[in-house]
Structure 1
């Protein structure tokens, strides 16, 4: 009568309890079945038992389906008054399947993790390093997983694939390998370096942009960290020197030799620019912005500047200013982690001794130049030429002002905070539709732009991490590539259908993310203009998790906050962050040459309203999404309508013809000194109407008419 059934298997809990009590360090054991099978054990005094060790020990003695998904080690088991185990008094095991492993780095990893969590009925998301079988998976569920992957991604896997690649990270790589694309050669440390180190493709793009724009601060990455406590400034200065010595991009200059740009890596003992200044609280923000607006000389100085502003007793603001050519979003975590370790070592008067990096950035640049050629590159570029064929020269979104002949960098910022509740509903919709939160946001933004008149072919630029090899995960450097994600909103689809279009298009795009943006640009060869960014003018980026920041011993340090310097790269750039605590937040950078601040605020409000509606009703067609708020709707329908007057049942055409009949000689139109009467205008209109009717046009047909202005 104690038998339970889990995913088709009948299990006798006492069998598992008996095996557990044979463990040399377990004195008591009991099992509870809710959503998952949970084992509670009492260990012998002084012994250390971990859930992972228990799981491995049981797996050697029991079938996979009898191994509990969750373990709890207690000092004692609660008892009822008559001495039996009181299972109702056992403590809950909070979020047992959540680990401290890595979060998804690509959309494919996010989808695979979602599918695995769904099949396992996991109460909390797994990391990409969590094993399928360690969290309750077995052969029947593995078969179900392969079916879900086939339905969602169109890739056929076998049970052996799941057993050999049991984590989301390894299974995502297996899925990518099954796509039939030519594989890139593995990244390894270069045996020797040439005399001239080439730039990576991403670095070369920024080097060219810097040359065309004459510098500027649009590609600055300024991060401000608030510090409070007894800061050892000398130790901090030395720690930054240690970080620069460890990560070559932070001590690299970019020069031209015989017309070819190359990397000049400075010696490891070259210290970065480090300045300490005292400021008042009132002038702090202005000082930060002034320092963040520094224009880097890429050939003459290191791409890192550190400014420490002291604004009171034990109160500091640390500005870490990097040029984008030496860093990206995923570089900030290893940068601040290494800084924290180095500071702790310097406080004790010693140098840090971190584990050596498997490769350096120069190895990556050499590998990229060698690997991206031949069939591998041809296949990638062939995809992009097809995917971007016929792309509009410019997004049709209306601006507040005409586009200037040469794009400027003057911009502004609108902060956004969509909150935790909307963020959670976005995640729920993503899970239900087997896609990612980014895809939901992309579809919502495309729908909003379409409703604002941008057309039904919406290209959005989006950065991807570009760290496909594990060896790159702990490096500071510029690995980001930019993809053009094309969204087809035609046909007034339901949002759920639009989301499926986005998922299909994005997965294809992400499968071809190795092709550098500049090579894609050359292959697609759009009409070029200095007035706008090529291929796309609106960018969307989503970062997950809390912002990175240093942990300095004896000092309270906040997270690194990006500063808006007033410089922009695109017409609109949506920089969003999704975090468990704060929800969906971020900022929209906009070109002040094109938009007023209030216009961008309205676009942000419309995006929020779109998200709120589609997460509540994914079947809603795009035409039924209400973009206007109550106040705006009232303004359009009531305040702007002017004096109301009953005009009866007559149409405008009826009233025009009546005027032509009653006063055919009256003046109807005046243009550059010429006049047309009502009678003549009516005759011209009727002549045009007969011509269109003879051409086969009928009421309700859609037609475009081109006439000279006159």
Structure 2
């Protein structure tokens, strides 16, 4: 890395944005974003910060093509990359607040299949030391008050659901305390995690405190996916720690107000899709034309007619040297660890008989605006990444194809997956997932729990 210092105000601002995004004390103008720990999710957040700071719209592709402060500053000076999109701001709300596209899909599944724990998100945190249970309960109420998504239910009128946000004064959250032993803990956690929600009336969050001893507890928070996602755990736990510290001192938490709420995102998403849905849909129609109906590992028995969701987990651990080699390959080829993993999975599936045209699903955080960074809500979207391994390519050639595919896909990530399925209208089957049967996630969306107290 060059280590040169910024030469002008634009580079100085960008150095600060790079360092903040990467969690580093400082960066030089020649430091490569991806060599210093950047990846596609960080790049998405960086583009949002750059837009706010400079008033230009950049996409993830531009970060890949101009991965240093020096090169990005030149691009910004020329006027940036993508077209501007509508601003995400707090908006006036209609009388009946519609659901986001992602929420609509989960609500429909809930109506179709009945209440199910399939979309419960359990978060269990071990707490060691003296615990003020009432302060913790009040802190949980504070967090539910801060995030409207956590006090929203989904009643329907004439078959059409809407978001009903409970007022703060009418919001409370119980925190039952249950004595457990280390032996009984897994079974109790499984039972509580599997309790279903009534989306039409219930808050989409529950909390239980399991007491192992006076100074050993497990806090279990269960949220329905309609109100949260994996990336929401970070802001949720940070806010809980802040609120618990304040309540322990006999005060309400003194936190900066959130710039927007999930309801504002819902209205913004509708506005965005009104102007841009057809362009993005046209891209996906072309990109996924003649997609194979099924591409997955060979099975030793036929699929059931209706998916049971009773899967198993097989865990393997790669040594640090393997991770270092994969990261090194990513840096060498101008790709990311995710792209290397995708190329490897596609190659493996092809060798196992899945063919040379391999679609792989991938979640994206969907937080394409900085205003969403600290919000609890269901923003995650799913992309279909089509990997071509035909023509006997080398692995690096496959990796090059993956890079181009993924950069284009990320530039068209606003079209919700359920709308994509409607647009493409593949042959439906209750036995398998539409458009892809293998999903790849790289990176740990879980976060360590901040200390309480």
Normalised TM-score (structure 2): 0.86
Equivalences for residues 20-99 of structure 1 within 5 A: 36=3
> 1: distance between equivalents of 2:30 and 2:3?
15
2:21 to 102, 105, 121: 102
Q: Give the distance between the partners of 1:514 and 1:426, measured in 2 at CA.
A: 29
Q: How does 1:655-670 map to 2 (within 5 A)?
A: none
Query: Is 1:365 equivalent to 2:270 in the alignment?
Result: no
Residue 73 of structure 2: aligned partner? 162
For residue 115 of structure 1, report the CA deviation from its aligned partner: 11
Distance 1:431 1:286, change over 3 A: same
More strand by share: 1
1:419 lines up with 2:319 in the alignment: yes
Does 2:338 match 1:438? yes
Aligned residue in 2 for 1:268: 168
Map 1:323-362 onto structure 2 (within 5 A): 323-362=224-263
Give the alignment of 1:116-135 within 5 angstroms: 117-118=31-32, 124-125=36-37
Cα displacement string for residues 437-466 of structure 1 (whole angstroms, at most 9, x for unaligned residues): 100011111111111111111111111111
8 A contact 1:466–1:481 mirrored in 2: yes
Superposition pairs for residues 178-217 of structure 1, below 5 Å? 183-190=84-91, 192-217=92-117
Q: 1:241 to 1:64 in 2, by over 3 A?
A: closer
Give per-residue Cα distances to partners, 1:84-111, cap 9 Å, x unaligned.
xxxxxxxxxxxxx99862249xxxxxxx
C-alpha distance in 1 between matches for 2:323 and 2:29: 20
Partner SS, residue 393 of structure 1: coil
Q: What is the DSSP-based 3-state SS (H/G/I as helix, E as strand, rest coil) of the residue aligned with 2:123?
A: strand
Q: Does 1:401 align with 2:301?
A: yes
Alignment deviations for residues 540-594 of structure 1 (CA, whole Å, 9 cap, x no partner): 11224772323211xxxxxxxxxxxxxxxxxxxxxxxxxxxxxxxxxxxxxxxxx
Q: What are the ranges of 5 or more consecutive residues in structure 1 without an aligned counterpart?
A: 1-6, 8-34, 38-54, 71-96, 105-112, 131-148, 554-710
Distance 2:247 2:63 in 1: 55
Instruction: Give, in whole Å, the separation in 2 of the partners of 1:407 and 1:364.
Output: 32
Kept in 1: contact 2:296–2:438 (CA 8 A): no
Counterparts of residues 473-552 of structure 1 (less than 5 Å): 473-544=373-444, 547-552=447-452
Whole-Å separation in 2 of the counterparts to 1:408 and 1:64? 54
Structure 2 vs 1, CA of residues 151 and 286 (structure 1 numbering), >3 Å: closer, same or farther? closer
Which residue does the alignment assign to 1:289? Answer: 190
Q: Could you tell me which of 209, 218, 221 is aligned with 2:121?
A: 221
Given the superposition, is the C-alpha separation of residues 518 and 394 from structure 1 closer, same or farther in structure 2, using an over 3 Å criterion?
same
CA contact (8 A) 2:3 2:31 kept: no
The correspondence for 1:318, drawn from 201, 212, 219, is: 219
Provide the rounded CA distance (Å) in 2 between the counterparts of 1:283 and 1:274: 19
TM-score relative to the length of structure 1: 0.56
Q: Cα deviations across residues 199-257 of structure 1 (Å, max 9, x unaligned)?
A: 11111111112222222211111111111100110000000000000001111111111
Change (3 A) 1:150 1:533: closer
CA deviation digits over 1:61-99, x for unaligned, max 9?
A: xx999x9xx9xxxxxxxxxxxxxxxxxxxxxxxxxx998
Determine the C-alpha separation between the residues in 2 that align with 1:364 and 1:152. Answer: 27
Q: CA RMSD of the aligned region, Å?
A: 3.4
Distance 1:208 1:345 in 2: 40
In the alignment, which residue of structure 2 is the partner of 1:664?
none
Identify which of structures 1 and 2 has the higher relative contact order when contacts are C-alpha pairs closer than 8 Å and 6+ apart.
Answer: 2
Question: Is 1:468 matched up with 2:368?
Answer: yes
How many residues in Structure 1 have an aligned counterpart in Structure 2?
Answer: 429
Equivalent position of 2:178 in the other structure: 277
What's the CA shift for 1:198?
0.6
Structure number with higher helix proportion: 2
